[in-house]
Chain A
């Protein structure tokens, strides 16, 4: 009888454990934890920035998911979307950061006071650091740019503004430092998280477009009318160790990493011809593999899905109405297109 009781007890314990494991496995994924989130920047003066969700497997598109889930419009121009610390941060260049749950897009908080023209965000030390151009002066310059500090990952009030050179754009956290690339100042500046002040700065070649890591190396992409530049940065000191220039005309700040040390860059002749193209560039080999795997006009954002090997190109359709996402294969052949919101400017691929 005792043996029987022990056996029953063991069975019950095992059943309980298995039940727990099964329940753990049954937790469904959040509605937006897989697929492609499309950033639609919105039109100036209308402030109709929004996020769309695209399921590349089913082709299903969910529109205006911020407004749909929170029953209020985003009401801003979305400049950046960053997932960190179990949250999704939507940065509006109209002076606002919305914090949502990445699983269901329900609002968790916001930063709504004290920002001017916010551009991007990083998190570290349980704090938010928001790059902001600061207010325009009479000549539409930005002499009072800063990085705003918020002491709560869910948003709230700004506790400090760290002055930086004009127009901070992208940032990267490395150890106890934040690297800040400024587009008007054309500088790489290092913020010490201990003192929350700028500790060093260096001049950049070209206008910075963004940071990324490749084979363990931190790289800052920059561009001008004739060349693109890959600044190799020492992650410990923030020093620029070298600059790899590659000849590519009319590059823009819009790029995405693809595979094998390659990146895709939107090029645009701009006004008056306004011919856009997608260029494929090998960073490792420092050469342009193809100047135009796809051409058109109105290209406003680019993304890459490594699993499906699909390229997503945002077409702004002249900002007269909503935009279009063009789906290309790896070779630049159009597979399909679908309608999204106003000014599709970026993609967050969640595999």
Chain B
């Protein structure tokens, strides 16, 4: 019911209502603040109303979709999404050095087994099949959602282990606003961001410009040299610039048009492996544009979306470009109080001009999502999707999920969640067309996922505790592996993997007079066991997949008082195997971070905040990937000013 209620609320918001109060009500001398308390107003002001966007959680009964806290994102302004996810979640990213390529693994799957969306557009590269999380700056979006587990029926290709959603979020009724952000830190890090926005009751505009640079010349122990001297990292500098433009226009009380544009360019010296002297360089240019049209008719919402993604990657002068054009239409409507439905179609045209081949492809997806409220306590989501690419049918992907509220009273709430889903990943353009070695006969990778979870909310006085435990099992087959065929590497559908694991999340708050104590915790136990052997001499069956830690734990203890906020963050990443035969191991590591922030410093004209962070307090020497040096203790200062 909570989801249905939020959906209905969103519909109202989209139609110019705020928490159920008609527009004309906004002109009265009372408004609702963010926690629903009625506050008197001395003067009439414009009221912030969020621009409507479809709920990502609506058809996900039985699954877990987490929205990451805005406060957390704010303290990572200018840093990369990979840094944030590695430090503040139980997810593991394969980081090939500081600021270098970072790929996400969810539930023990590989880099390309998670879908990444920006404002509803899938942004995984069609040629590489994955996203480099190190070139997604936190300041480039407003909201971050993580969907844990199989999402093929909801999102299409790639969402085998989960999905990541990056969204822009505009508001109406805020007038003019200028924000300046600066972030300086060790190793030549200097990030600058300027944002100007204007919004009235009908229109909202925002422009952001940013520039992030880092010399990345941290000290590390060069274990490749006799005597293992301490040296300064060379050839790891990067520079990132970008601009984004968001627009929302309330065409009428039942029509909304929104558009976002994001251009991001990252130039990097590729940090060499310890003991190597490579001087590789990479430039990534990404242009993303999306436009949504919403039409609200009674309890139905029509959404027509179009978008364009252009990715240009230059590696040592070798040029690789892809372009994706999207046309999407769907209808989301509440059939009855207990039934809602979303039906849609997505067409994608892809063009790739890579260094060794050119290719184009058309994709068509039909999808249907249904929510059934069988009772007040029992809700079911059914999702179906059929994906067709160049006349080939990807595996039909259904999912069935359920939330069952077992116990609900003033003190606590207990809910069971269960979900079964199929997912798939279409072979990338490189998998099929790379010259030489591409294999056009590859089948899509396919998975079945089953999960069972329990979530518990407990309230006692000023203490609130929210936790969730999920156990999942996943079977992935036709997993694509590139293998050497003499001097040429070629991909094959060869691996089968059985993944299982536990995910635990904890959020706790305790308020004591002016003090607030906050505790966050994430723990992932991941077993990703290879079931297949490539050759007679292969010894990989029965072993954990490489670079997949069995354990990852992260916790943050925060204390707030007035405008002050301080925290200690701890993460433990378990040992990882280098190869499929589990012979060589990279040791586990533990990192401690500390930060303090002074928020909402306010004068007549400006508001601001300032924060200081010390990362890797213990100056731990560690590697995420073998022989990829990572920085020791480092310092950052972060200043935000709002005019």
Contact = CB atoms under 8 A, between A and B. Distances in A.
Given A94-B273, A298-B535, A72 B228 contact: yes
Interface stretch (B12-20, B84-92, B291-299, B574-582): B574-582
Nearest to A76: B275
Interface in A301-346: 315-324, 326, 337, 339, 341-342
B275 A320 contact: no
A110 interface: yes
A322 to B, nearest CB: 5
Interface string A28-47: 00000000000000010111
Interface in A66-90: 70, 72-76
A323 B583 CA distance: 11
A110 B226 CA distance: 7
B488 A271 contact: yes
B232 to A, nearest CB: 15
B223 interface: yes
B226 A107 contact: yes
A340 to B, nearest CB: 10
B591 to A, nearest CB: 22
A271 B485 contact: yes
B128 interface: no
A140 to B, nearest CB: 8
A198 interface: no
B224 A112 contact: yes
A114 to B, nearest CB: 9
B607 interface: no
Interface in A111-131: 112, 115-116
Contacts of A320: 481, 483, 534, 538, 540, 579-581
Given A75-B627, A76-B276, A46 B578 contact: yes
Given A271-B488, A322-B579, A48 B224 contact: no
A266 B121 CA distance: 50
Nearest to A96: B275
A127 B277 CA distance: 23
Interface string A265-276: 000111110100
Given A47-B275, A47-B627, A339-B581, A318 B226 contact: no
Contacts of A73: 223-224, 275, 627
Q: Which of A63, A135, A296, A321 has the most CB of B within 10 A?
A: A321
9 contacts: A48-B578, A48-B584, A75-B224, A96-B224, A138-B316, A272-B485, A296-B536, A315-B537, A317-B537
B276 to A, nearest CB: 4
A136 B280 CA distance: 10
Contacts of B490: 271-272
A138 to B, nearest CB: 4
Interface in A261-299: 268-272, 274, 296-298
Chain A interface size, as a band, is: 35 or more
B313 to A, nearest CB: 15
A94 B538 contact: no
A103 B337 CA distance: 82
Nearest to B489: A271
A45 B274 CA distance: 10
Contacts of B583: 63, 321-322, 339, 341
Interface in B192-232: 223-226, 228
B461 interface: no
B391 interface: no
A109 interface: yes
Interface in B498-520: none
B317 A138 contact: yes
A77 B14 CA distance: 59
Given A76-B224, A270-B488, A326 B537 contact: yes
A245 interface: no
A251 interface: no
A270 to B, nearest CB: 3
Nearest to A71: B228
A257 interface: no
B284 to A, nearest CB: 18
B224 A317 contact: no
By CB atoms of chain A within 10 A, which of B274, B488, B543, B584 has the most?
B584
Nearest to B495: A320
Given A47-B273, A48-B578, A135-B279, A321 B539 contact: yes
Contacts, number: 134
A72 B277 contact: no
Nearest to A155: B226
B572 to A, nearest CB: 23
A345 to B, nearest CB: 12
Contacts of B488: 270-271
A73 B578 CA distance: 14
Nearest to A268: B486
A147 interface: no
Contacts of B486: 268-271, 274
A97 B224 CA distance: 11
Contacts of A319: 483-484
B128 to A, nearest CB: 15
Contacts of A115: 277
B273 A45 contact: yes
Interface string A89-106: 000101110100000000
A123 B539 CA distance: 39
B485 A317 contact: no
Nearest to A44: B273
Contacts of B584: 48, 322
Contact of B485 (A76, A109, A274, A341): A274
B336 interface: no
B437 interface: yes
Contacts of A297: 535
A321 B581 contact: yes
Contacts of A324: 537, 539
B483 A94 contact: no
Contacts of B436: 271
A70 B578 CA distance: 20
B225 A112 contact: yes
B537 A321 contact: no
Contacts of B34: none
A75 B485 contact: no
Nearest to B272: A94
A272 to B, nearest CB: 6
B276 A47 contact: yes
A271 B485 CA distance: 5
A99 B579 CA distance: 27
The 3 lowest CB-CB distance pairs between A and B, nearest first, are A75-B275, A321-B579, A321-B581
Given A94-B273, A138-B318, A317-B539, 5 more contacts: A75-B224, A75-B627, A317-B537, A321-B579, A322-B539
